[in-house]
């Protein structure tokens, strides 16, 4: 593949042909440049590994919900069932098992909804973080400054005198033709 100069290279080449000096000025300090390089490297490795925060971070939330279910919901159901009285108040009763199964199913639905909501929040946070980081990484790293060549004494003298002489000669020739 042949080398194709960038727009900046072409612009610098054109300016250099006009005379003068083309200077490249960094927008970042060397420490900032190193930080950006590390940042981009980290972003690339995170991208290759499939993202930032994972759903594995949901485990403590699920664990808390399960603990709450076992310490609050199950005892409350058992207390309610035994307080109803009736002929069969054993906890092995099919009615109690059905109520416990329904509560467990409700827990699973709530956990699934929480996990989905958590995943959406994590994705939104990851996208925001990526946008914030890439806005820094995508800024131009350099600016190009052009300092035109200062005209020499003779160029500035001839630039001022010659047009005046031509103008005066033209006026004199016009007067000679008219007069």
Is 112 found in the same domain as 33?
A: yes
Across 134-150, average pLDDT:
78
* Tens-digit pLDDT profile for residues 64-90: 888 988 888 888 888 887 776 655 555
pLDDT surpasses 50 at 162:
yes
Looking at the domain assignment, is residue 1 inside a domain?
A: no
Is 177 found in the same domain as 117?
A: no
Is 64 found in the same domain as 133?
A: yes
Question: Could you count the other beta carbons within 10 Å of the beta carbon of residue 20?
Answer: 13
Instruction: Please tell me the predicted confidence (pLDDT) of residue 164.
Output: 66
DSSP the chain: ------HHHHHHHHHHHTSSEEEEEESS-HHHHHHHHHHHHHHHHHHHHT-SS-GGGGHHHHHHHHHHIIIIIHHHHHHHHHHT-SS---TTSHHHHHHHHHHHHHHHHHHHHHHHHHHHHHHHHHHHHHHHHHHHHTS-SEEEEEEPPPPPHHHHHHHHHHHHHHHHHHHHHHHHHH-
Enumerate the β-bridge partners of residue 143. 25
Is 140 found in the same domain as 165?
A: no
Is 140 found in the same domain as 83?
A: yes
**30 CA to centre of own chain:** 22
Domain enclosing residue 175, as ranges: 153-179
Instruction: Please tell me the predicted confidence (pLDDT) of residue 56.
Output: 59
Looking at the domain assignment, is residue 3 inside a domain?
A: no
Percent of the chain whose predicted confidence (pLDDT) is above 90? 0
Is 127 found in the same domain as 44?
A: yes
Instruction: Please tell me the predicted confidence (pLDDT) of residue 1.
Output: 43
* Tens-digit pLDDT profile for residues 20-40: 777 888 888 889 888 888 877
Is 104 found in the same domain as 161?
A: no
For residue 104, name the pLDDT band (cuts at 50, 70, 90).
Answer: confident
Is 88 found in the same domain as 175?
A: no
Is 123 found in the same domain as 50?
A: yes
Burial 32-70 (b: 16+ CB within 10 A, else e): eeeebeeeeeebeeeeeeeeeeeeeebeeeeeebeeebe
Looking at the domain assignment, is residue 2 inside a domain?
A: no
Predicted structure pTM score: 0.47
Q: In this structure, are residues 110 and 65 in contact, taking their beta carbons and an 8 Å threshold?
A: yes
Looking at the domain assignment, is residue 5 inside a domain?
A: no
Instruction: Please tell me the predicted confidence (pLDDT) of residue 139.
Output: 78
Q: How many independent structural domains does the chain possess?
A: 2
Is 160 found in the same domain as 143?
A: no
Is 71 found in the same domain as 16?
A: yes
Is 130 found in the same domain as 173?
A: no
Instruction: Please tell me the predicted confidence (pLDDT) of residue 54.
Output: 59
- Quote the mean pLDDT of the chain: 75
* Tens-digit pLDDT profile for residues 113-122: 888 888 888 8
The sign one gets for the Cα dihedral 44, 45, 48, 54 is negative
Looking at the domain assignment, is residue 97 inside a domain?
A: yes
């Amino acid at each position: 593949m042949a080398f194709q100069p960038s727009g900046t290279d072409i612009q610098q080449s054109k300016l250099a042909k006009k005379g003068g000096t083309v200077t490249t000025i960094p927008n970042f300090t060397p420490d900032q440049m190193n930080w950006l390089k590390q940042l981009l490297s980290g972003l690339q490795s995170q991208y290759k590994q499939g993202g930032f925060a994972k759903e594995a971070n949901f485990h403590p939330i699920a664990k808390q919900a399960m603990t709450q279910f076992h310490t609050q919901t199950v005892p409350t159901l058992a207390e309610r069932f035994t307080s109803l009285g009736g002929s069969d108040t054993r906890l092995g009763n099919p009615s109690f098992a059905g109520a416990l199964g329904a509560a467990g199913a409700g827990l699973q639905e709530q956990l699934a909804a929480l996990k989905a909501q958590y995943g959406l929040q994590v994705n939104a946070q990851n996208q925001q973080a990526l946008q914030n980081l890439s806005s820094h990484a995508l800024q131009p790293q350099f600016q190009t400054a052009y300092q035109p060549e200062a005209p020499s004494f003779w160029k500035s003298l001839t630039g001022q005198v010659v047009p005046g002489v031509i103008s005066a000669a033209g006026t004199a020739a016009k007067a000679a033709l008219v007069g």
